[in-house]
Amino acid sequence: MASAEEVAKEAERRDIRDRWLLSAPALIIIFLAATGPLLIVVIYSFLTPGPYGGVVWKFSTDGWLSVLMQRDIFDDTLAFADAHLSIFWRSISLSFYTTVLTLFFGFPTAYFIATRPPKTREVWVFLVTIPFWTNLLIRTFAMQQVIRNEGLVNTALMALGIIKQPLQIMNTDAAILLGMIYIYLPLMVLPIYASMEKLDFRLVEAGYDLYAGRWQVLRRIIFPLIKPGVIAGSILVFIPSLGAYVIPRVLGGGKNMMLGNLIELQFGAGRNWPLGAAISITLMVLVMIALLFYVRNASGSEGAHG
């Protein structure tokens, strides 16, 4: 006769098995929906581009080779694809600067909200989330109206007599950077606020009681405790910035392309689907590296602070 412990273990195993069986259809659909399109992109990256778009089912590694290299049309020699490298550099550098500047502006904003009375915090958080109510394209066009030659910035500077001619901000990397800071700033503020809201500010008061300066309190007390929120916000800003398409298209005028625009160009006017697929996978690898960096730092922060 089976003991009570064996019966309980058998019931637990049966319960786990039933849960897996019930969730199996949903898991299969999610797995196919997530991996199916990705598998198609991977396969396309190893095929030959068709003459009018699409692919020819002939194995080729030219798509991957063309990500960083290009062949000379006369002697078939290889050289670095300067245009692609410049787009890669622009995408990574602008994403990095966007992350740093949103942290610069988002940290004091989150600190201000976290130090308000509990009754008013929800109002401030509500105000931060208002931009999410509108479409990304509409917000990008709103920024365009601010920084264009006849926009708010140039009009105000000329009215004050600071400049005589409008500043050329549109169609530059600076315009893209301003647009991404404006669009992604809430994604930095909210995670930092979520971490800072849990902060015991008695620790800050204790730091001041021990004659620590404001910079020391910030560096040794506040920042280490909210580091997971800072890392989460940085990832939430860096990843969409890296693959941005609408903002460079509208504010960069199509001349200052980023990776998202380069991918669209290859699948569209470029008619080189294997190259577009290879760049897409490369972008995904960059995103995965950023996520692994986040997971590593987040787990380290949890281990250090219990």
Asked if 149 contacts 170 with a C-beta cutoff of 8 angstroms, the reply is: yes
The whole-number pLDDT of residue 241 equals: 93
Residue 48, SS3?
A: strand
Asked if 110 contacts 196 with a C-beta cutoff of 8 angstroms, the reply is: yes
Residue 78, SS3?
A: strand
The whole-number pLDDT of residue 300 equals: 60
Residue 45, SS3?
A: coil
The whole-number pLDDT of residue 2 equals: 56
Distance CA 36, CA 30 (A): 10
Q: How far is CA 240 from the centre of its chain?
A: 3
Asked if 60 contacts 50 with a C-beta cutoff of 8 angstroms, the reply is: no
The whole-number pLDDT of residue 279 equals: 93
CB neighbour list of residue 67: distance below 8 Å, 6 or more residues apart = 81, 84, 275, 278, 279, 282
**Cα 65 to Cα 60, 78, 256, 269, 281, distances in angstroms:** 10, 9, 23, 20, 13
Q: How far is CA 93 from the centre of its chain?
A: 13
Q: What is the pLDDT along the chain (306 residues), one digit of tens a residue?
A: 556 777 778 888 888 888 888 888 888 888 888 788 889 999 999 999 988 888 889 999 989 998 988 887 777 788 888 888 999 999 999 999 999 999 999 999 998 998 888 888 889 999 998 888 888 999 999 999 999 988 888 999 898 888 888 888 899 999 999 999 999 999 999 999 998 888 877 888 788 778 787 888 888 888 888 888 898 899 999 999 998 999 999 998 877 889 999 999 999 888 899 999 999 999 998 888 888 877 776 666 555 554
Residue 168, SS3?
A: coil
Q: How far is CA 159 from the centre of its chain?
A: 37
Prediction pTM value: 0.84
The whole-number pLDDT of residue 177 equals: 95
Q: Between helices 118-129 and 173-197, what is the axis angle to 10°?
A: 150
Assigned token pair, 186: 């809430």
The whole-number pLDDT of residue 304 equals: 53
Distance CA 211, CA 292 (A): 38
The whole-number pLDDT of residue 305 equals: 52
Sign of CA pseudo-dihedral 175, 181, 184, 186: negative
Distance CA 281, CA 38 (A): 9
Asked if 274 contacts 193 with a C-beta cutoff of 8 angstroms, the reply is: no
Distance CA 55, CA 271 (A): 9
- C-beta neighbour count of 127 within 10 angstroms: 11
Asked if 128 contacts 186 with a C-beta cutoff of 8 angstroms, the reply is: yes
CB neighbour list of residue 260: distance below 8 Å, 6 or more residues apart = 243, 244, 245, 248, 283
